[in-house]
Amino acid sequence: MTQPAASALFNLKTIYAEEAAAASARGQAILAQWPQAQVELVPSHWQIPALAQIPANAEAWAKIKREVLVLGIKKRPEVRVNGRSADYILSGASNGCALACVYCYVARRKGYANPITLFTNTEDALAAQVRHLARLGPKVPNQVDADCHVYEIGENGDLSVDALLTDVPEAMIAHFRLQPGAKATFATKFVNPALLGYDPQGKTRIRFSLMPAHVAKVVDVRTTPMAERIAAINDFVAAGYEVHLNFSPVIIYSGWTQDWAQLFAHLADVLSPAAKAQLAAEIIYLTHNAELHEINLQWHPKAEDLLWTPQWQETKQSQTGGINVRYRHGQKGRLVAELKRLLALHLPECRVRYAF
């Protein structure tokens, strides 16, 4: 039976599925929630021409996220070094998202549509993590964590949203609860109260992404409103999660510093002593992409007035050959320093783990 919260984000009409994913127990459970959806078997979750190769899909960007789901098998789950949000990145949960944040880096890689791809063989990824952890020595304290090796489990999606459709997030959180010397982490822009019952016992760090509310209304499409994200922080701390903040992306516009100062002051007013005692943050300034800019112009041009600001940005070729834009190097250091100053002034309990 479909969860009521899932019905608010999804009205699935088509499910593209690799045969092995559709036949798996997890895949069958997902399909059973959406008996009205047409199931189309595909050879690969990456090779669906009806999604990625049709430019007109860009005009239906959010509609496709609501009506389409992809089920796949993660062929080679891997653990990669990170060093910023986590020590390591563990692949194997999902790729893509039902949310429609207009700056999303995952969307740059997926052509003209970016619905969720859920992987049904999560246990293979968790087994890879166990093997990886066994090869590590004791944790050397660093900015990521003092005591545990931290694994990013939601690199290419939002696990709070995935949990509306599958048991994968719950299974991952339960797995790390029993992993000595390791913890999981993921960022989210969606408040899913079901996660409060997962009993993480301090072994999962959720990073709530925050920005000024009026900006989020434009660029964080289909996400939980900012006031609700902030209101959920104390509840998640009380439920046994470590909760950090992800000030991301920081977008420059006239009046941006006043808006961030107000956000920090509001957090200082509403966060509980328990939340403040364990608080830390990441600060990430906007990086945008020329190809994604062109896609966004087809479905949400208003957002590009905020994201595409050549007067403050410079171009850089990405490792994959795309053209990215970011705030100019000489200016960037001053921008970072100003936001850190405002945070220290209004919310001194919140240390900054890293900023760029």
Q: Which domain holds residue 308?
A: 4-355
Residue 18 backbone dihedrals phi, psi, to 5 degrees: -65, 145
Rounded Cα–Cα distance for residues 17 and 353 (Å): 39
Asked whether the predicted pLDDT for residue 6 surpasses 90, the reply is no
State how many domains the chain has.
1
DSSP-assigned states of every residue in 70-101: EEE--SS--EEE--SS-SEEE--SEES-SSEE
Q: What is the pTM of this model?
A: 0.96
68-72 vs 79-81, strand pairing mode: unpaired
pLDDT of residue 320: 67
Asked whether the predicted pLDDT for residue 45 surpasses 60, the reply is yes
Query: For residue 168, how many C-alpha atoms fall within 13 Å in the half-sphere facing its CB?
Result: 32
- Report the CATH number at residue 215: 3.80.30.30
The helix (H) or strand (E) run that includes residue 169 is helix 168-177
From 102-111, 126-135, 249-258, the region with the lowest mean pLDDT: 102-111
Rounded Cα–Cα distance for residues 206 and 99 (Å): 17
Rounded Cα–Cα distance for residues 130 and 29 (Å): 26
Q: Assign 308 a pLDDT band (cuts: 50, 70, 90).
A: very high
Residue 289 backbone dihedrals phi, psi, to 5 degrees: -140, 135
Beta-carbon contacts of 107 under 8 Å, excluding residues fewer than 6 positions away, are: 96, 114, 292, 295
pLDDT of residue 287: 95
Q: Assign 163 a pLDDT band (cuts: 50, 70, 90).
A: very high
Q: Which of 17, 52, 54 is nearest to 34 (CA)?
A: 17
The rounded mean pLDDT for the chain is 95
Averaged pLDDT, 20-49: 97
Name the packing angle between helices 256-270 and 226-238 (round to 10°): 30
